[in-house]
Amino acid sequence: MIRFIEETGSTNADLAASLRSGDPPARDDWLVARRQTAGKGRQGREWFDGTGNFMGSTVVAIRDGDPPPASLSFVAALAVADAIHETSDGPIRAELKWPNDVLIARAKVSGILLEMVDRSVVVGIGVNLAMAPKLADRRTAALADFGQAPNLETFAEELARRFASYVTIWRGSGLAAVLRAFLDASIHRTGDPVQVHDTDGSRIEGAFAGLDPLDGALKLNLADGSERVIRAGDIT
């Protein structure tokens, strides 16, 4: 079920509060806001609130034997890309960038934020359907830049369906199957030069060497022949 509300501070915060109160949403339920006033993205970035854009959250209860909870970011990115392809009226090709960016023409169209609450993960997703923010550090785009944008309800229904499908793969076939799909749709190829902007402000340069099959961490081959595994940071 998808519940649409006119306005809230943050759909992630609303679902997290429900979990903490002992009243969790039902499996596959989504909360979608037409306007958010206090949304946040990864690493504390402000979550752009554009009229007509998708801003919603869902909850995945973690079971024994599931892949690492943080790897649901790959599930979310794949679901967003598929929903874009299915609901767009033009020849749009969405590509993925580690760890969970969705790009069109190498411009960012989506933001994904995971928050752990006890044994559940709140998955928050924002997608620029109608308009995109202007950011100093990266190019952004909206689906409306490439043709008629899907309406919020249509996109929400398709995204929820795709997300549920990928969760089933993630849980049943394992993270490796999800990572294969992610790499098939990604901009990364083995040997491509990569620069990582670490969370502490440092920069690491190397060549793309794939994703760790255990948790999806980025693997880099450094100039000295060693391998570095990156679990957080932005890359260019």
Superfamily of domain 2-184: Bira Bifunctional Protein; Domain 2 (3.30.930.10)
Q: Look at residue 49 in the predicted model and tell me its pLDDT.
A: 62
pLDDT digits (tens, 9 = 90+) for 55-79: 999 999 999 999 999 999 999 999 9
Residue located via tokens 């995204």: 159
- For 167, phi and psi rounded to 5 degrees? -60, -40
Of 131-135, 138-142, 172-176, the one with minimum mean pLDDT is 131-135
Terminal CA-CA length for the chain: 37
In the predicted model, is pLDDT for residue 143 greater than 90?
yes
Query: How much is the pLDDT for 179?
Result: 97
Pairwise CA distance, residues 130 & 147, whole Å: 10
The model's pTM is 0.92
pLDDT reported for residue 48:
59
Average pLDDT of 107-121? 95
Whole-number Cα distances in Å, 215 to 69, 72, 81? 9, 10, 21
Q: 188 pLDDT exceeds 60? A: yes
Using left for φ > 0, alpha for ψ between -120 and 50, and beta otherwise, residue 9 falls in: alpha
Q: Which residue has the higher pLDDT, 50 or 217?
A: 217
Q: Which CATH class is domain 193-235?
A: mainly beta
pLDDT of amino acid 39: 56
Q: 150-168, pLDDT tens digit by residue?
A: 999 999 999 999 999 999 9
Mean residue pLDDT of the chain comes to 90
* Contact criterion met (CB below 8 Å) for 175 and 68: yes
Residue 220 CA to residue 88 CA, distance in Å, equals: 35
Q: Is the dihedral of CA 62, 68, 70, 74 positive or negative?
A: negative
pLDDT confidence of residue 43: 46
Tokens representing residue 65 in the block = 């034997």
Q: What pLDDT, on the 0 to 100 scale, is given for residue 233?
A: 77
**In the chain, where the domains are located:** 2-184, 193-235
